[in-house]
Amino acid sequence: MAIDPHDQIIKKLCKDILLALGVFQKGTSRIYIDDNGYFFTVIEF
């Protein structure tokens, strides 16, 4: 299955920006989670 160009762009930017901030990806989906202990933030593309 080929990856769409917009999926590649999102994945690259998330790897460069979000993962550097401690946000992690849920599996292989386009959902990223920022766990702050008391609360968490869900980022979905």
Determine the Cα–Cα distance for residues 18 and 34; give it in Å rounded to an integer: 9
Determine the Cα–Cα distance for residues 23 and 45; give it in Å rounded to an integer: 14
Residue-number span of the structural domain to which 10 is assigned: 5-44
Spatial CA neighbour of 43 closest among 21, 20, 18 = 18
Number of domains the chain contains: 1
Token pair of 45 as six digits? 């593309």
Confidence at residue 33, expressed as pLDDT on a 0 to 100 scale: 93
Confidence at residue 6, expressed as pLDDT on a 0 to 100 scale: 84
Confidence at residue 1, expressed as pLDDT on a 0 to 100 scale: 59
pLDDT tens across the length of the chain (45 residues) = 567 888 888 888 888 998 888 898 888 888 999 998 899 999 998
